[in-house]
Structure 1
Amino acid sequence: MSARGGKRPARAEPRAWGTARDLALGVRFAVTGGREGWTRALLTAVGVGLGVALLLLTTAVPNLLDGRDRREEARQDNAYIPDTLRPSDDTLLIAHANSDFKERDLRGRLVEPEGPDAPVPPGVSELPEPGSMVVSPALKELLASDEGALLRERLPYDIVGTIGKPGLIGSQELAWYAGGTGLAEQLDHPLVMRIDAFGTHGTESAEPPDPVLVMLTLVVFVVLLVPVAVFIATAVRFGGERRDRRLAALRLVGSDSRMTRRIAAGEALAGAVLGLVFGTGFFLAGREFAGSVELFRVSVFPSDLDPSPLLVLLVAVAVPAAAVLVTLFALRGVVIEPLGVVRTARPARRRLWWRLLLPLAGIGMLLPMTGQGRDHGDFNQYLVVGGVLCLLVGITALLPWVVETVVARLGAGGLAWQLAVRRLQLSSGTAARMVNGIAVAVAGAIALQMLFAGIDDQYTRDTGQDVSRAQMQVDLPDGVPVAPAAADFEKTEGVRGVHALSYGYLHEKPADSEEPGRGAQLTVGDCEALRMVAKLTGCADGDVFALTGADYDTDTQALNKPGRALHLDQGSTPGARGDALWTVPRGVKRAVSVQDPTGMLSSGFLLTPGAVTPDVGKRVSGRLWLVIDESVPDVQELVRNTAAAVDPLAHASTWVATERTARFDSLRTGLFVGATAVLVLIGVSLLVSQLEQLRERRKLLSALVAFGTRRRTLSLSVLWQTAVPIGLGLALSALVGTVLGAVLLRMTATPVRVDWGTVLGMTGVGAGVVALVTLLSLPPLLRMMRPDGLRTE
Structure 2
Amino acid sequence: MNARQWGRDLGMGVRFALTGGREGWVRMLLTAVGVGLGVALLLLTTAIPSALAVRHDRDQARLDYTFGPRLPKAANTLLISDTDTSYHGKDVRGRLVEPEGPRAPIAPGLSKYPAVGDMVVSPMLKRLLDSADGKLLRERLPYRIVGTIGEPGLIGSHELAYYAGAKDLAPRVNGWRTARITHFGPPTKTPANQADPVLILLVLVVFAVLLMPVAVFIATAVRFGGERRDRRLAALRLVGSDSRMTRRIAAGEALAGSLVGLVFGTGFFLLGRQLAASVEIMDISVFPSYLNPSPALAALVAVAVPAAAVLVTLFALRGVVIEPLGVVRTARPARRRLWWRLLLPLGGLAMLAPMIGQGRSNGTFNEYLVIGGVLLLLVGVTTLLPWAVEAVVARLGRGGVAWQLAVRRLQLSSGSAARMVNGIAVAVAGAIALQMLFAGVQGDYTKVTGQNTDRVQMQVNLSRGVPFLPAAGKFATTKGVRKATTLGSTELGDRRWTPGSGPENTVELTVGTCASLREMADLPSCRDGDVFAVTGADRDSDVTKLARPGRTLHVNTSDGTGGGPDVMWTVPGELKRGRALIGPAGYKESGVLMTPAAASRPMSNALTGSVYLSLDESLPDVHEYVRNTAARIDPIADAMVWSSTERSTQFNSIRTGTFAGAVCVLALIGASLLVSQLEQLRERRKLLSSLVAFGTRRRTLSMSVLWQTAIPIALGLLLASAVGLTLGAVLLKMVGATVGVDWPSVLSMTGVGAAVVVTVTLLSLPPLLRLMRPEGLRTE
Give the TM-score taking structure 1 as reference length.
Answer: 0.96
Aligned partner of 2:610 among 617, 620, 623: 623
Partner of 2:725: 738
Partner of 2:743: 756
Alpha-carbon separation, structure 2, partners of 1:241 and 1:590 = 92
Query: SS where residue 741 of structure 2 aligns?
Result: coil
Aligned partner of 1:300 among 280, 286, 301: 286
- Which amino acid in 1 is paired with 2:403? W
- Which amino acid in 1 is paired with 2:278? S
- Which amino acid in 2 is paired with 1:378? T
Q: Is 1:252 aligned with 2:228? A: no
Partner of 2:634: 647
- 1:528 Cα deviation after fit: 2.4
CA offset digits 1:690-731 (Å, max 9, x no partner):
111111111111111110111111111111110000000000
Partner of 1:719: 706
Query: SS where residue 437 of structure 1 aligns?
Result: helix
Aligned partner of 1:326 among 312, 333, 336: 312
Aligned partner of 2:197 among 185, 188, 211: 211
Aligned partner of 1:494 among 472, 480, 485: 480
Q: Note if contact 2:75-2:101 (Cα within 8 Å) is conserved in structure 1.
A: yes
* Shift in CA distance, 553/277, structure 1 to aligned 2, threshold 3 Å: farther
Q: Note if contact 1:335-1:343 (Cα within 8 Å) is conserved in structure 2.
A: yes
Q: Is 1:62 aligned with 2:87? A: no
Partner of 2:86: 100
- 1:536 Cα deviation after fit: 2.9
CA offset digits 1:400-448 (Å, max 9, x no partner):
1111111111111111111111110100000110011000000000000
Q: Is 1:86 aligned with 2:72? A: yes
Q: Note if contact 2:66-2:82 (Cα within 8 Å) is conserved in structure 1.
A: no
Q: Note if contact 2:157-2:286 (Cα within 8 Å) is conserved in structure 1.
A: yes
Alpha-carbon separation, structure 1, partners of 2:290 and 2:502 = 52
Alpha-carbon separation, structure 2, partners of 1:611 and 1:79 = 33
Q: Note if contact 1:30-1:38 (Cα within 8 Å) is conserved in structure 2.
A: yes
Query: SS where residue 346 of structure 1 aligns?
Result: coil
Q: Note if contact 1:50-1:681 (Cα within 8 Å) is conserved in structure 2.
A: yes
Q: Is 1:340 aligned with 2:312? A: no
- 1:571 Cα deviation after fit: 5.4
- Which amino acid in 1 is paired with 2:133? E
List gaps (5 residues or longer) in structure 1: 1-13
Partner of 2:347: 361
Aligned partner of 1:147 among 114, 117, 133: 133
Partner of 2:9: 22
Alpha-carbon separation, structure 1, partners of 2:661 and 2:484 = 43
Q: Is 1:691 aligned with 2:691? A: no
Partner of 2:271: 285
Query: SS where residue 555 of structure 1 aligns?
Result: helix
Alpha-carbon separation, structure 2, partners of 1:741 and 1:247 = 44
Q: Note if contact 1:111-1:177 (Cα within 8 Å) is conserved in structure 2.
A: yes
- 1:594 Cα deviation after fit: 2.1
Q: Is 1:530 aligned with 2:517? A: yes
Alpha-carbon separation, structure 2, partners of 1:182 and 1:288 = 43
Partner of 2:299: 313
Q: Is 1:560 aligned with 2:562? A: no
Alpha-carbon separation, structure 2, partners of 1:19 and 1:106 = 60
Q: Note if contact 2:674-2:760 (Cα within 8 Å) is conserved in structure 1.
A: yes
Query: SS where residue 492 of structure 2 aligns?
Result: strand
Measured on the aligned residues, the alpha-carbon RMSD in Å equals: 1.5
- Which amino acid in 2 is paired with 1:306? N
Q: Note if contact 1:128-1:178 (Cα within 8 Å) is conserved in structure 2.
A: yes
Alpha-carbon separation, structure 2, partners of 1:658 and 1:493 = 27
Q: Is 1:371 aligned with 2:363? A: no
Alpha-carbon separation, structure 2, partners of 1:533 and 1:738 = 50
Range moving further from structure 2, 514-523 or 717-726: 514-523
Q: Note if contact 1:628-1:635 (Cα within 8 Å) is conserved in structure 2.
A: yes
Alpha-carbon separation, structure 2, partners of 1:637 and 1:402 = 56
Alpha-carbon separation, structure 2, partners of 1:735 and 1:212 = 24
Q: Is 1:156 aligned with 2:180? A: no
* Shift in CA distance, 710/84, structure 1 to aligned 2, threshold 3 Å: closer
Q: Note if contact 1:80-1:202 (Cα within 8 Å) is conserved in structure 2.
A: no
Alpha-carbon separation, structure 2, partners of 1:351 and 1:507 = 81
Partner of 1:383: 369
CA offset digits 1:96-143 (Å, max 9, x no partner):
111111111111111111211111111110122211111111111211
Alpha-carbon separation, structure 2, partners of 1:372 and 1:591 = 52
Q: Note if contact 2:212-2:378 (Cα within 8 Å) is conserved in structure 1.
A: yes
- 1:783 Cα deviation after fit: 1.2
Range moving further from structure 2, 267-276 or 248-257: 248-257
Q: Is 1:271 aligned with 2:227? A: no
Q: Is 1:675 aligned with 2:662? A: yes
Q: Note if contact 2:539-2:590 (Cα within 8 Å) is conserved in structure 1.
A: no
Q: Note if contact 2:437-2:728 (Cα within 8 Å) is conserved in structure 1.
A: yes
Alpha-carbon separation, structure 2, partners of 1:39 and 1:554 = 86
- Which amino acid in 1 is paired with 2:429? A
Q: Note if contact 1:189-1:478 (Cα within 8 Å) is conserved in structure 2.
A: no
Alpha-carbon separation, structure 2, partners of 1:79 and 1:152 = 26
4+ runs deviating over 4 angstroms: none
Partner of 2:530: 543
Q: Is 1:406 aligned with 2:395? A: no
The count of aligned residue pairs is 777
Alpha-carbon separation, structure 1, partners of 2:538 and 2:353 = 45
Q: Note if contact 1:79-1:200 (Cα within 8 Å) is conserved in structure 2.
A: no
Alpha-carbon separation, structure 1, partners of 2:349 and 2:583 = 50
Q: Is 1:436 aligned with 2:422? A: yes
* Shift in CA distance, 432/248, structure 1 to aligned 2, threshold 3 Å: same
Q: Note if contact 1:545-1:605 (Cα within 8 Å) is conserved in structure 2.
A: yes
- Which amino acid in 1 is paired with 2:630? A
* Shift in CA distance, 61/79, structure 1 to aligned 2, threshold 3 Å: farther
Range moving further from structure 2, 332-341 or 19-28: 19-28
- 1:612 Cα deviation after fit: 2.5
Q: Note if contact 2:67-2:175 (Cα within 8 Å) is conserved in structure 1.
A: no
Query: SS where residue 294 of structure 1 aligns?
Result: coil
Query: SS where residue 120 of structure 1 aligns?
Result: coil
- 1:597 Cα deviation after fit: 3.4
Alpha-carbon separation, structure 2, partners of 1:178 and 1:618 = 26
* Shift in CA distance, 642/301, structure 1 to aligned 2, threshold 3 Å: same
Q: Is 1:118 aligned with 2:114? A: no
Partner of 2:765: 778
Q: Note if contact 1:431-1:725 (Cα within 8 Å) is conserved in structure 2.
A: yes
Q: Note if contact 2:529-2:595 (Cα within 8 Å) is conserved in structure 1.
A: yes
Q: Note if contact 1:79-1:201 (Cα within 8 Å) is conserved in structure 2.
A: no
Partner of 2:186: 200
- Which amino acid in 2 is paired with 1:589? K
Aligned partner of 2:458 among 469, 472, 475: 472
Q: Note if contact 2:66-2:177 (Cα within 8 Å) is conserved in structure 1.
A: no
Q: Note if contact 2:539-2:589 (Cα within 8 Å) is conserved in structure 1.
A: no
- 1:553 Cα deviation after fit: 4.2
Q: Note if contact 1:189-1:477 (Cα within 8 Å) is conserved in structure 2.
A: no
Aligned partner of 1:349 among 335, 339, 343: 335
- 1:18 Cα deviation after fit: 2.4
Alpha-carbon separation, structure 2, partners of 1:129 and 1:325 = 65
Q: Note if contact 2:83-2:636 (Cα within 8 Å) is conserved in structure 1.
A: yes
- 1:677 Cα deviation after fit: 0.3
Q: Is 1:460 aligned with 2:425? A: no
Alpha-carbon separation, structure 1, partners of 2:529 and 2:252 = 93
Q: Note if contact 1:462-1:659 (Cα within 8 Å) is conserved in structure 2.
A: yes
Aligned partner of 1:40 among 19, 23, 27: 27
Q: Note if contact 1:72-1:169 (Cα within 8 Å) is conserved in structure 2.
A: yes
- 1:20 Cα deviation after fit: 1.6
Give the TM-score taking structure 2 as reference length.
Answer: 0.98
- 1:343 Cα deviation after fit: 1.0
Query: SS where residue 242 of structure 1 aligns?
Result: helix
Alpha-carbon separation, structure 2, partners of 1:71 and 1:572 = 30
Q: Is 1:131 aligned with 2:117? A: yes
